[in-house]
Structure formats: structure tokens, C-alpha cells
Amino acid sequence: MDHNRHVPSPSELPPIPADAPLRKVIEDRIDEIATTLLHEAVESIEWPTPMPIEHFDGEVTPYIIGGFLYGLDLITEGRRVTRAEAATFVLPVAERHAEDGIPLPFLFTALHAGIRKLWEIVLESASEGDSETIAALGMYLADLTGTISVLMTEVYQDSDFVLRATTRRQLSALCAHLVDGEPGSDTIAKQIGVKLSDRYDVLAIRVDGDEPRTTHGTLAARRRLRLANQVFYGRGAGEILNTFDGHTGVILLPAQVVEPRDDAVMATHLGALIDALSERLEVAIYAAHHPGATLAAIPAAAAEAAEITCLARQLNREPGIYQLSDVLFEYQSTRPGPARDLLARHIAPLRDHPGLLQALQSHLQHGADRKAAAAELFIHPNTLTYRLRRIQEITGYDPTDPYQSRLLAAAMTVHTIDQAGAPVADTDPGNPG
């Protein structure tokens, strides 16, 4: 036994030279290894429904790579990673998963699966003469696993983290009270230290796309909620209230009491907010704005804005911010009542003739410009003329007559909404969707 052999102190570990062959193998394959570890970690968990790796890849993989590269520098020095150093890479990931509602045991399972996979890769890549490097790496991995486990546990038990999450839920509850017009909003606001504004700009938002209510869909929505809150609170903590759930919601922004209001400045402000949300959430967003609503008027304003977002999306408008004036004709055409029912009956005979519906849609969109409409449909203008006559024969309304074409346009709007789903008037303003 060699009594002169150096025994590492608690603060140090056997250094691995920068030119060690096995280390170079790991360094060269760092991107591949990081992706493999993440896949192994995600697949090790028995999710209630299948979980696509894409949900984690974009945000988690960079931290794995960053942690590896930093760790390789540390092992050259022969010292343990400190809690502060590990926290740089561990805390953002752990906090993300905590906010997403992923149970802590799931994280432990994933961590151990990832470390086990890394060790398999190390052994597969080793060659003769790597025994000392393998032994040193084993010590580093054991040390690192313990540090990460402690940090993840502390995140889930962190009172400040829990407090922040509780505060966000309270602010969301306050917003829901205001949107629903329920009494007691003043009391709730005082309890959480929020001074209510006399007026709010009401903004309904809806992400573009529909997701199934699967584990992945739920986690994707939670992720969007988490990222959206980062945008909201970065622009005025405690001032911007919202009910956003990752799919839809209402945002209340304290309105400027300066009169007259500068609509251009407000449009720029709201546009920047929606652009920031869209970029952060990596999804197109439909929004509708109702300016300067009093507290009593918030429920009606929110309901109107929510309907407008639904309407814009159902009509296949481009994502963006809308006001009632942007969809005034379509909005009024879809109001429940005898007029709407009559419009639906006018267009009903064409539902069995998709070619005629398409011809009518193009004719209306191009303002009765037959050449443009025919070109869009890849047909001869005479063919379009024939189809317009058939529409008149079937419906009793002439698409070429200015007044009757307006009726047909309204009927087409009703048809489009009916095809898209339930009438927009059935939307719940507190949770549009």
C-alpha cells in the first residue's frame, strides 16, 4: 500500500488532465450526449400520456451543455462544483419544472436516468489506459448528483418561490373577479397590496392553434403561462392583471387618465406587448382591445373583446390586435336572433356545393372583380359568371347586385362561423374559450 499517495480533501477531487483522451471524446460529443441524456431522462418517466421531447429540448438542453462545459473546466482544476456554480445551471430548470407542476419525484427519476446514461456513454467510449479517468469521473458524477438533488429539493421547498407563485395566483384571482363583475374586488386588492386603477384598457388574447388536453398539452399551456407572466411582470409587477391560462385570457392594463388619450401611442404600447408575448411564447396571438373601461364596465368590455378574438380567428384573419371597428360588419352579422337565422337559411342551400361557395367567397373578397376572382380560382371568367348565376338560381339572391351581394356576404360570415364551431356569443368572458 502506498502511504505516500495523495488523498483528496473534501474540497478537491482527482484532477483530470485537459488532454485526457476520454475527456476529449466527451468534449467532442457534448451536443450529442446532452440530447441523449435528455431523451433518456424524459423517457424514464411514466407520463399519463405520451410526452414529446420538444417540450423540454429548447429550454433544458442549453443548461445541460453549459453545465457540462463548466464541469470539464472544474475537473481540470481538481475541485468540486460549489452550490453557487451548480445553481447557475440547476435552478432555472428546477424552477421551470416546479412552475409547470411536474412532481419532484419525476425530476429525481429523470436525473438518475440521465446520470446512468452518461456513465454508460463514458464506459462505452473508454479505452485502455482510461481507468484513472473513469474513477475520477465516477467521483465527480456522484458528487454532482448529490448537489443537484439538494438544489432541486430546495427549489420545491423555497418559501420565496412559493410566495411568488401564490402572489401570481392572487393577482389572477383578482383579475377574474373584475372580469366576472363579482363583488369584493376592493377587498381582495387591499389584501394583496394592489391599488386598483379607475379605468383599465381591456385586452383579450388567444393563442393560435388548438391542443388536445393531454399531458403535453397541459404542460405546454403551463409553460406559456409561465413565460407570459415573465413578460407581464417585467412590464409592471402588480399593475398588469391577467387571467391567461396558457390558451386564452384577459389582460387589464391601468389606463392613462390623461385626456385626450393618444390612440397612436396606446396602439404602439399594446403592439409591443403582444409582439413580446408572441416572441416569448413562440406562437401567433390574436388579441382584441377595448380602451379605458371603468371597473363596472370591465365585464362587458372583456366579453366583447373575447368575442372579437374568436371572430377574427374563425374568419381566418391574420393574428394581431383587433378592435370592434375592425370586424364591425361581421360582429353584427353573427348576433343571435331572427336575422342571423334568416341569413343562415339563405346560404344553407349552397352547403352541398363547395365549388359555388368558393366562387362566392372569391367574388366577394375581390369586390366583384371577376378577372381577379377567376384568376384566384384558376378558372375562366366565363366559368365564374356561370357559377354566380347558379348561386342566384339556388339562393334567390344575385351576387352581382350591390344590395343582394351584401346580404350574401353577411350570410357567408354566418356560414364561416358555424363551420368553425359554436357561435362566438357563447364565449365565457372570464375564460374565453
What is the per-residue pLDDT for 423?
41
Residue 107 shares a structural domain with residue 184: no
Instruction: Choose one of 124, 157, 190: the last residue of a domain.
Output: 157
Average pLDDT over residues 156-170: 70
- At 27, which CATH number? 1.10.490
Of all helices (H) and strands (E), which one includes residue 378?
none
The more confidently predicted of residues 160 and 412 is 412
Instruction: Choose one of 107, 141, 157: the last residue of a domain.
Output: 157
DSSP codes, 128-148: TT-HHHHHHHHHHHHHHHHHH
Average pLDDT over residues 195-207: 90
Average pLDDT over residues 382-408: 82
- At 418, which CATH number? 1.10.10.2840
Q: What is the mean pLDDT of the chain?
A: 78
Residue 202 — φ and ψ, nearest 5°? -100, 125
The more confidently predicted of residues 130 and 284 is 284
306: exposed, middle or buried (C-beta count within 10 Å: 0-12, 13-18, 19+)? buried
Q: Residue 377 domain-assigned? A: yes
Per the document, the length of the chain is 433
What single letter denotes the amino acid at residue 391? I
pLDDT band at 8 (very low <50, low <70, confident <90, very high): very low
Residue 312 shares a structural domain with residue 343: no
Residue 35 shares a structural domain with residue 153: yes
Contact 8, 43 (CB under 8 A): no
When divided into structural domains, the chain yields a total of 3
Residue 62 shares a structural domain with residue 100: yes
Q: Residue 1 domain-assigned? A: no
CA distances from 152 to 37, 43, 61, 97 (A): 18, 20, 17, 10
Domain extent at residue 50: 21-157
Residue 147 shares a structural domain with residue 123: yes
What is the per-residue pLDDT for 79?
77
Q: Residue 431 domain-assigned? A: no
Residue 359 shares a structural domain with residue 305: no
CA distances from 151 to 110, 115, 148, 347, 368 (A): 15, 16, 5, 63, 67
By C-alpha distance, which of 261, 282, 283, 263 is closest to 271?
263
pLDDT single digits (tens) 320-375: 999 888 877 777 766 666 766 777 777 787 877 888 888 888 877 777 788 888 88
Q: Residue 43 domain-assigned? A: yes
Q: What's the grid cell of residue 416?
A: 364561416
pLDDT single digits (tens) 232-251: 776 654 478 889 888 889 99
Q: Residue 299 domain-assigned? A: yes
Residue 338 shares a structural domain with residue 320: no
Residue 273 shares a structural domain with residue 367: no
Residue 186 shares a structural domain with residue 319: yes
185, pLDDT greater than 60: yes
Q: Residue 9 domain-assigned? A: no
Q: Residue 8 domain-assigned? A: no
The more confidently predicted of residues 230 and 335 is 230
Residue 145 shares a structural domain with residue 172: no
11, pLDDT greater than 60: no
Average pLDDT over residues 64-70: 81
pLDDT band at 223 (very low <50, low <70, confident <90, very high): confident
What is the per-residue pLDDT for 339?
66
- At 292, which CATH number? 3.30.70.270
Q: Residue 356 domain-assigned? A: yes
Average pLDDT over residues 386-406: 82
What is the per-residue pLDDT for 130?
82
Residue 55 shares a structural domain with residue 110: yes
Instruction: Choose one of 326, 345, 377: the last residue of a domain.
Output: 326
User: What is the dihedral angle through the alpha carbons of 367, 372, 376, 377, rounded to the nearest 10 degrees?
Assistant: 90
What is the per-residue pLDDT for 430?
45
pLDDT single digits (tens) 89-108: 888 888 777 777 788 888 88
Portion of the chain with pLDDT greater than 70, in percent: 83
The more confidently predicted of residues 256 and 154 is 154
22, pLDDT greater than 70: yes
Chain centroid, CA 187 distance in Å: 31
Residue 173 shares a structural domain with residue 150: no
270, pLDDT greater than 90: no
What is the per-residue pLDDT for 76?
79
